[in-house]
Amino acid sequence: MTRQFRSSNLPLRFDDDVAAYPVSKNEWLILKTDMFVGSTDIPNGMKVWQAARKAVVATVSDFASKGIRPHVIMLSLGLPSNITRSTVHQLAIGFRKGAEEYGCKVIGGDTGTAKDLVFDIVGSGFARPSEIMRRRGAKPGDIIVATGMFGKTAAGLRILSSNRKTSFRRKYHTLLTSVLNPKARLKIGVLLGKSHAVTSSIDSSDGLAWSLHLLAQLNKVNIKIDHVPIPNDVYRFANETSLDPLDLALYGGEEYEIIASVKPNQCQLLEQKIRSLVRIGTVESGNGQVILSTDHSEKVVEAKGWDPFRNS
């Protein structure tokens, strides 16, 4: 979206998850800025502190997917004029909680007046160029892995925006938790970066299908998915609500797993080190398609993304 700015001579391209500036030969300053808007990014049923914490988690996840540890967080807040002191306090608690969970320090910020509640999270850290996992680099033959399962947040958001009873909510609390208290895969991301086995990487915050499409298109390859890991709770929820579990897994969003392509001869060793990695597919030569391979059929996965207004 920021491609109107020139990106020549930048060590990381504008379309990657973070921006970089070389400090020395072996060290880059890494920056990421991410804006959250109350009217679009905070679903019904999410508390203000949870939204603030989640905004930090989303920024940490961008770092995690590059194998980089964020050190400091800055906050810029646009506050509606009718906001209460209590809400501002809750925001502060959420930001601090998110930062502390991932070992970041909140070092400053800015506040102003806006029509919407707006917060911009700025993350910063340092990285060795060789350990940064870029979006570009996947090659035919690489194996696609993910750091977890998919579909929980798409299900959880549907529960949040519904009028379901408390008993229903309690039954699917893991799905609700995935929305209200998401986690970024920072430790695993840093391990992946240090392994030098990863050829490209992205987080799944815009949805599994969308993220795979980005990887396929940026790398001018096809990605064939033969296993979409979906937790039992998502299957149960889908069954009870007559939804397709695969749709929930592919076209969800705000799910902060890392999706990475791994050199085929190093994948087994990596899986031994990181037990939670799941193989979901392979990279093939092609022109940017994502293909879902099930039993004896193959179908093209749509390049649909996560749309926060869609949860119905």
- Is residue 82 within the footprint of a copy of itself (CB under 8 A)? no
Distance, CA of 176 to CA of 185 (rounded, Å): 18
Q: Is 151 left (phi over 0), alpha (psi -120 to 50) or beta?
A: left
Among the listed ranges 44-52, 88-96, 198-206, 259-267, the one in contact with a copy of itself (CB under 8 A) is 88-96
- Is residue 235 within the footprint of a copy of itself (CB under 8 A)? no
- Is residue 182 within the footprint of a copy of itself (CB under 8 A)? no
Among the listed ranges 25-33, 160-168, 180-188, 252-260, the one in contact with a copy of itself (CB under 8 A) is 25-33
The two tokens of residue 42 are: 């905070």
- Report the residue number, 115 or 187, with the smaller CB distance to a copy of itself: 115
Residue whose token pair is 């940490």? 60
Instruction: Please tell me the total number of residues recorded for the chain in this structure.
Output: 312
Query: Of 26, 113, 285, 294, which one interacts with a copy of itself (CB under 8 A)?
Result: 113
Number of residues that bind a copy of itself (CB under 8 A): 53
Angle in degrees, CA 36, 203, 149, rounded to 5: 110
- Is residue 124 within the footprint of a copy of itself (CB under 8 A)? yes
Q: What residues contact residue 257 under an 8 Å CB cut-off, 6+ apart?
A: 146, 147, 148, 149, 150, 185, 203, 204, 208
The contact set with a copy of itself (CB under 8 A) reads 1-2, 4-6, 10, 12, 14, 18-21, 23, 29, 31-37, 39-41, 71-72, 74-78, 88-89, 92, 95-96, 105-116, 118, 120, 122, 124, 126
